[in-house]
Amino acid sequence: MSGLLAAALHGSECALQAICKNGLRTMLVTLGVVIGVAFVVAVTTVMQHTQQQTFARPQAGHPHLISIRVWPAATPAPTPGEPLSHEDFLILKQAVPGLMGAYYKVTPLGEKTSIRGGGSATITQVIGTQPRYQYLLGLGVQQGRFITHRDNQQKILNAFAGPGLVKQLNIDENPVGQTLTIANKEFNLVGVGLPGLALPDIKDNNYLILPHSVAVDPTFASAQSYTDILFTITKNSNLDAVYADIQRFFSLRMPNPPIIALQPSPRQLTERAKLQDLSLFIAIGVAGISLTIGGLGIMNCMLAAVTQRSTEISMARAMGASRSIVVTQFVTEAGVLALFGGAVGLAVGYILSVLVMLWLPMEGLFVMPIWTIVIAIILSLTLGIVFGLLPAIKAAELDPVDTLHYE
C-alpha cells in the first residue's frame, strides 16, 4: 500500500512539473477536456438557473409571454366565505387595464380525483372552465370537440379529456362517446386534446375539463374546490402597474387579499422545454466529441512520456517495482493532467455562463450549483484514468533487461 501511495505521489509530482514547465503544451494537450467540461458546466448551470427563474418582464412582440395566477393567502383554495366568483373574474377584466386574454377556472374536487371509465380507474385532475379556455392556451383537439357554450349554459354533462388520461383508462383507440364516472355522476366524453402542450400545474396531460356551470354546481363540487384566475399581459403593458392594480382590486373586495404569482404560459413552457432539450442535445454532442479528443490528447502525451522515460521505468522495475506501482504512477499522472484541464474548463464554463445570463432577461443572483462542480471533477478524473490506462499498461509491460541493454 505504501508503494502504491508513493507511486501516486510521484505521478502527481511529474504531472505538476509538466504543467509548470510546459504550461502552453499542457494546455494544448488538455484543450479538448477544457472545451468539453466548459460546455457541460455552462449548459447545466444556465439550464438550472432558468428553471428556477420566472420570466419577469413581457417583451415586445410576445403578448402571451406571462400569465398570473391568483389564489388566496395561506391555502390553495379560496378562504371560506370569500370565494373567487365568476363575477369577480368579469369585474377584474374590466377594472385592470393591460389584460389581454383571461380565463376563469375552477377545480371542483381538489387536485386529485378518482375517475372510472372503459373498465379502468385512475386518478386525474378535474377542472371546469369556459369554452374560450381552449383558445387562450392554444389547446388543440385530437378527436371530437371541446366544451361549447351550449354545454355550459344547459349544464350538459359532457367532458373533454387529456391524452394522458385517455391512455391511463385504456380507451385511447376509440375514446369519443365513452362514459366516465366522477363523484357518482356520469359524463359523456366528447373530445380528446392533442399531446405536447403542458397545461398549468398538470402533469403528463392527465386532466378532464368540464363545463364551468357543472363544476360549480353545489351537488357536484366538494369542500376541496378552489378557483383560479389566469390571464396574459398585453405586449405594451407595464407589469409593475398591472401587478399593483390587481392587488388593489382584491384589497378593496376582500379582507384577506390573495397572493399574486407569476408563471410562464403553457405555450412558453412547451417552447422552453423544446429549447432546453435541443440545447442539452447539442451540448452533449459537442462535449462528447471534445472530451474524446481531449482524452486522446492525454493518451498520446502519456505514450510519449513512456517512450522518453523508458530507462527510468526499466531501472525502477529492475530495482523491484511491481507492475501495479508503474500503472498507478502513470494513471495518476494522466488523472492530474485531466484534472488540470477540468479546472480550466470549469473556470471557462463559469465565465460563459455569466455572459449568457447577462444576455438573457433574467433576474437574481447567479450562483453555480455545487453539483456542477462535482460533475466537472468526476468527469475530468474519469477521463484521465480511462485514457491513461493504456500508456500505463504499456509502461508496466516494458522489459527492463531489453530496455537497459538497448540503452
**What is the per-residue pLDDT across 207-243, written as a single tens digit (0 to 9) for each?**
899 998 888 888 887 766 767 776 666 666 666 777 7
Contact 199, 207 (CB under 8 A): yes
**Please, what is the angle between helix 31-52 and helix 370-396, to 10°?**
160
What per-residue confidence (pLDDT) applies to 401? Answer: 57
Query: What's the rounded Cα separation, in Å, for the pair 230 and 89?
Result: 9
Grid-cell match 465565465, residue found:
351
Coil, strand, or helix at residue 184? coil
Tell me the β-bridge partners of 121.
116
Element (H, E) at 142: strand 141-144
What per-residue confidence (pLDDT) applies to 146? Answer: 93
Grid-cell match 468527469, residue found:
379
Compute CA distances 130 → 109, 136, 146, 147, whole Å: 17, 11, 10, 8
Query: What's the rounded Cα separation, in Å, for the pair 233 and 217?
Result: 31
Alpha helices in 236-361 (DSSP H): 239-253, 266-308, 310-318, 323-359
Could you tell me which of 260, 311, 298 has the C-alpha nearest to residue 380?
298
* pLDDT greater at residue 384 or residue 285: 384
Mean pLDDT to the nearest integer, 26-36: 79
Coil, strand, or helix at residue 295? helix
Q: Pick the most confident of 88-102, 192-206, 358-372.
A: 192-206
- pLDDT interval class at 148 (50, 70, 90): very high
Q: What is the DSSP letter of 199?
A: P
What per-residue confidence (pLDDT) applies to 262? Answer: 58
Element (H, E) at 163: helix 163-168
Query: What's the rounded Cα separation, in Å, for the pair 176 and 166?
Result: 10
What per-residue confidence (pLDDT) applies to 66? Answer: 44
Query: What's the rounded Cα separation, in Å, for the pair 131 and 169?
Result: 25
- Written as nine digits, the cell of 160 is 373533454
What per-residue confidence (pLDDT) applies to 367? Answer: 67
Helix, strand, coil distribution of the chain in percent, nearest 5: 55, 15, 30
Query: What's the rounded Cα separation, in Å, for the pair 270 and 276?
Result: 10
- pLDDT interval class at 270 (50, 70, 90): low
Mean pLDDT to the nearest integer, 349-360: 78
Grid-cell match 468526476, residue found:
378
Query: What's the rounded Cα separation, in Å, for the pair 228 and 220?
Result: 18
Contact 159, 167 (CB under 8 A): no
pLDDT at 60 over 60: no
Contact 158, 188 (CB under 8 A): yes
Q: What percent of the chain has pLDDT over 90?
A: 9
For the chain, the average pLDDT equals: 75
Query: What's the rounded Cα separation, in Å, for the pair 242 and 110?
Result: 29
Q: What is the DSSP letter of 119?
A: T
Cα angle 56, 57, 59; round to 5: 140
Q: What is the DSSP letter of 216?
A: T
pLDDT at 380 over 70: yes
* pLDDT greater at residue 65 or residue 245: 245
Domain map (residue ranges) of the chain = 2-55+270-406, 66-265
User: What's the one-letter identity of residue 233?
Assistant: I
Between β-strands 179-182 and 158-161, what pairing exists: parallel, antiparallel or unpaired? Answer: unpaired
- Written as nine digits, the cell of 266 is 403553457
What per-residue confidence (pLDDT) applies to 10? Answer: 66
* pLDDT greater at residue 147 or residue 376: 147
